[in-house]
Amino acid sequence: MLKHLADAMAPDSRCLIVEQVMTNPPTPLVAYTDYVMLNIGGKERTLKNFQELGARGGLKYVKHWPSKTSAVGVIEYEKA
């Protein structure tokens, strides 16, 4: 999906992903959420995982804005 998005992006486009970002070690809530996601074929990701995922999709990681009140943050990418 990210590869298709990267192909459609203009040079000055930005992709913003709002997602829970897992720390290492994870908080109990994020660890539980990761376990639940495993049951449906998904997983929670660390910031490094998001950087690698974007790179595989043709995107360049720009910045991460963490939330002050939860594990959810915004990850910004640009076209690589």
Q: How far apart are the first and last CA of the chain?
A: 15
Q: Which of 49, 78, 79 is closest to 63 using CA atoms?
A: 78
Look up the CATH number of the domain holding residue 45: 3.40.50.150
For 21, 33, 36, 37, 40, the CA distances from 15, given in Å and listed in that order, are 16, 24, 27, 24, 26
Of the chain, the percentage scoring pLDDT greater than 70 comes to 100
Q: What is the pLDDT of residue 52?
A: 97
Prediction pTM value: 0.89
Q: Which strands sit side by side in the sheet containing 45-46, from one edge to the other? A: 45-46, 14-22, 72-79, 59-66
Q: Identify the domain containing residue 54 by its residue range.
A: 2-79
pLDDT digits (tens, 9 = 90+) for 28-41: 999 999 999 999 99
> Total domain count for the chain?
1
Q: What is the largest distance, in Å, between two alpha-carbon atoms of the chain?
A: 40
